[in-house]
Structure 1
Amino acid sequence: MSNEIVISSTQKGDRIALLQDKRLLEYHLDESESSFTVGDLYLGTVKKLSSGLNAAFVDVGHEKDGFLHYQDLGQHINSLNKLTKDVIAKRVNTGRLSGFDMEPDIEKIGKIDKVLTKGQPILVQVVKEPISTKGPRLSCDISIAGRYLVLVPFSNGVNLSKKITDRGERNRLLRLMSSIKPQNFGVIVRTVAQGKEVEELDSDLQNSIDKWDRAMQTLRDAKPRDRVLSEMNRASSILRDMLNESFDSITVDTQESFNQTREFIHTIAPEKEKIVKLFTGKTKMFEALGLEKQIKSLFGRSVSLPGGGYLIIEHTEALHVIDVNSGNKSNSEEDQEATAISVNREAAREIARQLRLRDMGGIIVIDFIDMKKADNKKMIFDIMREEMKGDRSKFTILPLTKFGLMQITRQRVRPEMNIVTREVCPTCGGTGTIQASVLITDVIEGNLDYILTKQNERGIQIVLHPFLHAYFTKGLLSKQRQWFLKYKTWVTLVKDSSLGITEFKFQNKSGDEIELAGTAVPAPMTSAPAQVDA
């Protein structure tokens, strides 16, 4: 099984695709303008205390105040508040906690107005990004994630991932971390730490401590609403959390991303540095690797299954509903039970993939095709659990009910990924009528003639729909070759299936788009516009 990561840089941020055996498994948009990323630390101000909710609303700069529940304060909130106050007052110059006089822990079940006061400055961490009309979900139980370890200030415990099952390895890691962790810092050992030597673990621990120390240095001069510590970008966090021996390729499409990714991989896993590759193709990377087509086909309301069945995925405010249908598979098996088993097995694998791909969270209800035998229901339940093992989000799966429904809860920490797969007709704008689209080739050639003869541009390229690309390039004496003979310069044509049939872009040799004076399709000779089903 091969795993690949593809990172495409755009003006709005990075597009990140995680592939497993060339199949799209996860898709992320890391927008450069977005803030409030999970893991960020902010200096907030308590704006309101709600005794009914036993929670506080904290101003961290979002249009809606962040939500901080009593259970998210953490037992060591008094110690955190004390350090925050001392750092802001410049009585403390470091985040090192050796010799720090810890405050008493708060009660597990208590009232928030006994701990916080209105207008109080408070150091908080984003644990859930703003979703819909809600502000970010906040916590004061601070944790700093590294590659092998998670650092927990003001704690003294050592905890290990439940996925580390070997007793000998658990004991080794427990003894090791207890001996090297500094005073008043707790540690959570991640699954990838299995088999690692003390030098690697200690280096990762020191990196996390240095990050915490830098955050405290920033806090000294911070103002309310300031971000004190920024989590690494989405691409780096995915590499940090998921990079293992099964990864054989990391492909990026800009030199800057290539250098940054190589440098980051050299820091966390030097032996994997050689798998970072720079894409140098002429077409867009996602287009060349077939990812645009996968994205468009996988994010729709209906998702096809390999055997002929299909899924219908509906989203509501409260939950997600997935309906499994047999489609044309219903006639290919010997009986109804066999058909149900075949379709449900495929559906379970695809649904596990869709949950990760769309980052669907909250409650998911799946309506599988009815099966009579209990063993078959258990088999589908086991398949779903096995397929979701690689999911990084916390989840709970319940067995199928007697109605054939499966219920899943999945942790949601950021807005659901939603790609629009139904496009408004680029020519009619959704009205259902267009002018004669057959003249689009004339419009392109007219613009080309103007650019080459009047503006005297050279080295240009035209980005257009694959149908138009085929029209201009097919044949021994294609339109493209005729242009070369006429204008004595080669015009490069680039396919882009994300464009509509009547959309196109002219670009100069630097890759910048050339503004065109008249790109609309000319009105047809007849008085009535041609009708199309848009």
Structure 2
Amino acid sequence: MKTELIIRSNSSDIDFALLKDGKLVELHNETLDNNFSVGDIFLSKVKKTLSGLNAAFVNVGSDKDAFLHYHDLGPQLSSLKNFTQQVSSGKRKDYTLKNFRIEKDIDKHGKIDDAIKSGQDMLVQVVKEPISTKGPRISSELSIAGRYLVLVPFSDRVSVSQKITNNKEKERLKRLAQSIKPKGFGVILRTVAQGIKVAELDRDLQYSVQRWVNMCKQIPNAKAPQKVLSELNRASSILRDVFDESFTSIITNDLSLHQEIVDYLERIAPEKKSIAKHYTSRVPIFDYYGIEKQIKSAFGRTVSMRKGAYLVIEHTEALHVIDVNSGNRSNKANSQADTALEVNMIAASEIARQLQLRDMGGIIVIDFIDMHLADHRKKLYDHLRKEMSSSRTKHKVLPPSKFGLVQITRQRVRPERNIKTQEDNPNKNGEVEAPIILIERIETLLKRIMEEDRPGIALHVHSFVASYLTKGLNSIQMKWFLKYKKWIKIVPRDAYPYLKYEFVDKNDKIIR
């Protein structure tokens, strides 16, 4: 399988598109002013405790206070509080925990009022970003994720990802981790650690330990609420979680981001750093790789599939509902039951992609086409679980209910990706504006630009308009060339509304 990561950087945010064999499977966005990403660690201040909820509201600098439940305190809370107090006061200069005495675990069935107090400073980690009207969800059970392992301070436990099923490999990884882990830290081996040698594991471990030490150095001068450790930037975190041998290219239009990726690949996979490329073409990067078209077709209320079938996806505050329809597909199957199974299998694959693409979390209810054979229902259930197995987000798929509905729960850690694919109707007065009027407006602006004698002019327009302007040997584009003796490059933009157009100069600056 060919895997590509395409990164588009703008002045305010960065978009990440993961393609597998040219098909869009993940789409992420990082806002440059986002202060609350999953994995960030804050020195926070407890605002108030709520005995009835056995939880507390904590100030981490968000508009809404963060929510901290007793079960998210972590068993090593006493050790964390003592360590934080010693570091904050300057009494502790050694941050490696090798000489730190680990306290007894707190009672798992205890009360929040006995564990923390209002006004207290404590280290917490974001486990769920602010969503809608809710503030971040946080935990005081800290962890630092690396490429192959997760470092857990104030613990002595070594565990291995449940996705590694080979018992011999599990034992090998546990043995290696025990031999290299520093005192006072626990280690969780990630799935990608399979087959990795001890030298690479140790290098990854030392990098995570150094991040912990760097974080601790900030605490004495920090004033709550303040971030003391940032999660890796989105590009590095995506590479950390999904990078493997199938990656053939990582392409970005931002030179500084390109250098960051090269530096990160140099550390985790030096032999693959050549796949990082800087995109310099004037054609927008998402248009060039066909991503805008896929976004338009994948994020609507209705999603088309192979053989005429389609999905209808509805979102509510409580849950997401997906309806599977056979559409106008031609029936080449032997029976109605086989037709239903075939459409449902296609839908299951697309639904797994949609959940990952839109980052849909919470409860998802799927109404597949009715199937009366138990064998067909089992085939569908097994196929859906297999398609969902590649998802890095925690989830659970339940068997079909008596009503034929399939329920999925999927962890929600950040807001769902919701991209508007419908455009405003340009026909506001009940009459359709003739296309020639739009062309006349474009030509009026073009005439003024040509009088200024600017070189390297390009026209960015909707794909349909671009096709109209370039159609045939005697196209409008050719007429402009004969008239002005300059070639006007026409760039189709799938993201543009029908009536939008922009002229840009050779430096890609918009001409007003």
Q: What TM-score results when the alignment is normalised by the length of structure 1?
A: 0.93
Q: How far 1:198 moved relative to its partner? A: 1.2
C-alpha separation between the residues in 2 aligned to 1:419 and 1:189?
A: 36
Q: How far 1:217 moved relative to its partner? A: 0.7
Q: Which residue of 2 aligns with 1:519?
A: none
Q: Which residue of 2 aligns with 1:265?
A: 265
C-alpha separation between the residues in 2 aligned to 1:353 and 1:478?
A: 40
C-alpha separation between the residues in 1 aligned to 2:429 and 2:96?
A: 64
> SS of the counterpart of 1:347?
helix
Q: How far 1:164 moved relative to its partner? A: 1.7
> SS of the counterpart of 1:19?
strand
Q: Which residue of 2 aligns with 1:218?
A: 218
Q: Which residue of 1 aligns with 2:509?
A: 512
1:243 aligns with 2:240: no
Q: How far 1:512 moved relative to its partner? A: 1.3
> SS of the counterpart of 2:263?
helix
C-alpha separation between the residues in 1 aligned to 2:125 and 2:272?
A: 31
C-alpha separation between the residues in 1 aligned to 2:196 and 2:319?
A: 41
**1:418-497 to 2 correspondence within 5 Å?**
418-425=418-425, 427-428=426-427, 435-453=433-451, 455-497=452-494
Q: Which residue of 2 aligns with 1:2?
A: 2
Q: How far 1:129 moved relative to its partner? A: 0.4
C-alpha separation between the residues in 2 aligned to 1:320 and 1:423?
A: 23
Question: Does the 8 Å contact 1:15/1:29 carry over to 2?
Answer: yes
C-alpha separation between the residues in 2 aligned to 1:164 and 1:287?
A: 39
Question: Does the 8 Å contact 1:94/1:216 carry over to 2?
Answer: no
Question: Does the 8 Å contact 2:304/2:310 carry over to 1?
Answer: yes
Q: Which residue of 1 aligns with 2:135?
A: 135
Question: Does the 8 Å contact 2:70/2:111 carry over to 1?
Answer: yes
C-alpha separation between the residues in 2 aligned to 1:456 and 1:13?
A: 34
Farther-moved stretch of structure 1 (214-223 vs 92-101): 92-101
C-alpha separation between the residues in 2 aligned to 1:332 and 1:373?
A: 19
Q: How far 1:272 moved relative to its partner? A: 1.4
Q: How far 1:514 moved relative to its partner? A: 1.8
Q: Which residue of 1 aligns with 2:274?
A: 274
| Deviation by residue 1:217-246 (Cα, 9 ceiling, x = unmatched) | 111211112110000122211101111112
Query: Do the aligned partners of residues 431 and 154 (structure 1) sit closer, same or farther apart at CA in structure 2, a change above 3 Å counting?
Result: farther
After TM superposition, where is structure 1 displaced by more than 6 Å over at least 4 residues in a row?
Answer: none
| Deviation by residue 1:147-201 (Cα, 9 ceiling, x = unmatched) | 0010000001101111222222211211111121111100001111111111111
Farther-moved stretch of structure 1 (323-332 vs 388-397): 323-332
C-alpha separation between the residues in 1 aligned to 2:94 and 2:162?
A: 33
Q: Which residue of 2 aligns with 1:283?
A: 283
> SS of the counterpart of 1:307?
helix
Question: Does the 8 Å contact 1:94/1:217 carry over to 2?
Answer: no
Q: Which structure 1 residue ranges, 5 or more long, are not aligned?
A: 516-534
Farther-moved stretch of structure 1 (323-332 vs 22-31): 323-332
| Deviation by residue 1:1-58 (Cα, 9 ceiling, x = unmatched) | 2222111111222111111111111111111122200000011111110001100100
Q: How far 1:433 moved relative to its partner? A: 5.1
| Deviation by residue 1:312-365 (Cα, 9 ceiling, x = unmatched) | 111111111111111113744343211211111111111111111111111111
| Deviation by residue 1:474-524 (Cα, 9 ceiling, x = unmatched) | 343443344344434332221112212221012122111122xxxxxxxxx
Question: Does the 8 Å contact 1:462/1:494 carry over to 2?
Answer: yes
Farther-moved stretch of structure 1 (138-147 vs 410-419): 410-419
The one-letter code of the counterpart of 1:8 is R
Farther-moved stretch of structure 1 (120-129 vs 300-309): 300-309
Q: Which residue of 2 aligns with 1:526?
A: none
Number of matched pairs:
512
Q: Which residue of 2 aligns with 1:520?
A: none
> SS of the counterpart of 1:382?
helix
Q: Which residue of 1 aligns with 2:63?
A: 63
Q: Which residue of 2 aligns with 1:25?
A: 25
C-alpha separation between the residues in 2 aligned to 1:372 and 1:490?
A: 63
The one-letter code of the counterpart of 1:292 is E
1:197 aligns with 2:197: yes
C-alpha separation between the residues in 1 aligned to 2:334 and 2:196?
A: 52
**1:74-153 to 2 correspondence within 5 Å?**
74-153=74-153
Q: Which residue of 1 aligns with 2:230?
A: 230
C-alpha separation between the residues in 2 aligned to 1:481 and 1:435?
A: 24
Q: Which structure 2 residue ranges, 5 or more long, are not aligned?
A: none
C-alpha separation between the residues in 2 aligned to 1:25 and 1:320?
A: 19
The one-letter code of the counterpart of 1:358 is R
C-alpha separation between the residues in 1 aligned to 2:329 and 2:461?
A: 37
Farther-moved stretch of structure 1 (484-493 vs 54-63): 484-493
C-alpha separation between the residues in 2 aligned to 1:332 and 1:431?
A: 46
Q: Which residue of 1 aligns with 2:499?
A: 502
The one-letter code of the counterpart of 1:219 is I
The one-letter code of the counterpart of 2:437 is L
Question: Does the 8 Å contact 2:311/2:347 carry over to 1?
Answer: yes
C-alpha separation between the residues in 1 aligned to 2:495 and 2:414?
A: 26
Query: Do the aligned partners of residues 334 and 173 (structure 1) sit closer, same or farther apart at CA in structure 2, a change above 3 Å counting?
Result: closer
C-alpha separation between the residues in 2 aligned to 1:71 and 1:310?
A: 42
Q: How far 1:281 moved relative to its partner? A: 3.0
Question: Does the 8 Å contact 1:329/1:339 carry over to 2?
Answer: no
The one-letter code of the counterpart of 2:382 is D
> SS of the counterpart of 2:43?
strand
Q: How far 1:308 moved relative to its partner? A: 1.5
Query: Do the aligned partners of residues 272 and 84 (structure 1) sit closer, same or farther apart at CA in structure 2, a change above 3 Å counting?
Result: same
Q: How well do the aligned residues superpose, as a CA RMSD in angstroms?
A: 1.6
Question: Does the 8 Å contact 2:249/2:277 carry over to 1?
Answer: yes
> SS of the counterpart of 1:327?
coil
The one-letter code of the counterpart of 1:167 is N
Q: Which residue of 2 aligns with 1:316?
A: 316
C-alpha separation between the residues in 2 aligned to 1:459 and 1:20?
A: 35
| Deviation by residue 1:107-158 (Cα, 9 ceiling, x = unmatched) | 0110011011111111110000011100000000000000001000000110
> SS of the counterpart of 1:379?
helix
Q: Which residue of 2 aligns with 1:525?
A: none
> SS of the counterpart of 1:124?
strand
Q: What TM-score results when the alignment is normalised by the length of structure 2?
A: 0.96
Farther-moved stretch of structure 1 (330-339 vs 86-95): 330-339
C-alpha separation between the residues in 2 aligned to 1:352 and 1:159?
A: 28
